[in-house]
Amino acid sequence: TVHVLPQTPQLIALLTIIRDQNTQRGDFIFYSNRIIRLLVEEGLNHLPVKEHEVTTPLGRTYAGVRFEGKICGVSIMRAGESMEQGLRDCCRSVRIGKILIQRDEETAQPKLFYHKLPNDIAERWVLLLDPMNATGGSASMAVEVLKSKGVAEERILFLNLIASPEGLEHFASKFPKLRVITAFIDEGLDDKNYIVPGLGDFGDRHFG
Ligand code: HSX
Ligand code: HSX
């Protein structure tokens, strides 16, 4: 299932800055981090909480909730690494796994090079991080890696900034129980399988 962040004027303003070809790296990082924070908070909203009561300084009780599960971020290198700080800003000592997948720009086919994941990952909620979901090929390869480590589809939340309709369809048909949280769904893909209007290569704009 796909959850799109509320299209508030604030979010659209942030997206406008990072899509602008004249935005320089410092601003690109700062403003994309603000969107990433929103994605992480929205992702956390999808995790189950238990009832939890506290006493306030006024001696009154408050019947609240708390999250008791364990989570793990998994970034798809290189662009996904740009989302790690935003995750850490919300979850201070979160574990982070890495999957290195590179898309062949001639064929748009993803290739898996490396992965390193915490060994108890199957017991965790996984926040999969990649800012762009174009054909969906790279992210679905990452999901296959996670599934091979025993992570259930319903425990994976894929956080991404810009998705194409093609990428989302690919995901929905292959992994119906997986949740995708995206900030924006773009028009589609160009003949090189780049998202349009998009923002260019996220990894290049963030890392140089
Ligand atoms: C970009 O290509 C993104 O960060 C993803 O890792 C990938 C998206 O392309 P696709 O595999 O969805 O077509 O570097
Ligand atoms: C891209 O995926 C290019 O092929 C890059 O070499 C690879 C990783 O890019 P990024 O994650 O740094 O954007 O499509």
Verify whether ligand 2 is closer than 6 Å to residue 103 (CB atom): yes
The 10s digit of each residue's pLDDT in 175-201 is 999 999 999 999 999 999 999 999 999
Q: Which of 107, 130, 144, 201 has most ligand 1 atoms within 8 Å of its beta carbon, as the pocket-test mutant? A: 130
Percent with pLDDT over 70 in the chain: 100
The 10s digit of each residue's pLDDT in 13-48 is 999 999 999 999 999 999 999 999 999 999 999 999
CA dist 129 and 107 (Å) reads: 23
Q: Which two tokens stand for residue 121?
A: 């990952």
Residues with CB under 6 A from ligand 1: 76, 79, 103, 108, 110, 130-139, 167, 193, 202-203
**Residues whose CB falls within 8 Å of the CB of residue 120, separated by 6 or more in sequence, listed in order:** 70
The 10s digit of each residue's pLDDT in 90-104 is 999 999 999 999 988
CA dist 162 and 7 (Å) reads: 13
Residue 184 Cα to ligand 1 midpoint, Å, equals 15
Q: Which two tokens stand for residue 13?
A: 């303003």
Give pLDDT, residue 105. 80
Nearest of 203, 200, 187 to residue 129 by alpha carbon: 203
> Which ligand minimizes its atom distance to the CA of 208?
2
Question: Catalytic residue positions?
Answer: 103, 107, 201, 204
Instruction: Spell out a b/e string for 19-58, using b for 16 or more CB atoms within 10 Å of the CB, else e.
Output: beeebeeeebbebbbebbbbbbebbbeeeeeeeeeeeeee
Give pLDDT, residue 124. 97
Ligand 2 atom showing the smallest separation from residue 138 Cα: 2
Give pLDDT, residue 155. 97
DSSP string covering 64-121? EEE--S-EEEEEEETGGGGGHHHHHHHSTT-EEEEEEEEE-TTT--EEEEEEE--TTG
Give yes or no for residue 116 having a pLDDT over 90: yes
CA dist 136 and 140 (Å) reads: 6
pTM: 0.90
Coil, strand or helix: which one is 1?
coil
Give pLDDT, residue 104. 87
* pLDDT confidence tier of residue 106, bands split at 50, 70 and 90: confident
Instruction: Yes or no: say if 118 and 88 are a contact pair by the CB < 8 Å rule.
Output: no
The whole-number average pLDDT for the span 124-138 is: 96
Verify whether ligand 2 is closer than 6 Å to residue 200 (CB atom): no
Q: What angle do CA 35, 73, 79 make, to 5 degrees?
A: 55
Neighbouring C-beta atoms of residue 164, cutoff 10 Å: 25
Give pLDDT, residue 108. 80
Q: What is the mean pLDDT of the chain?
A: 96
Q: The complex's ipTM?
A: 0.64
Give pLDDT, residue 12. 98
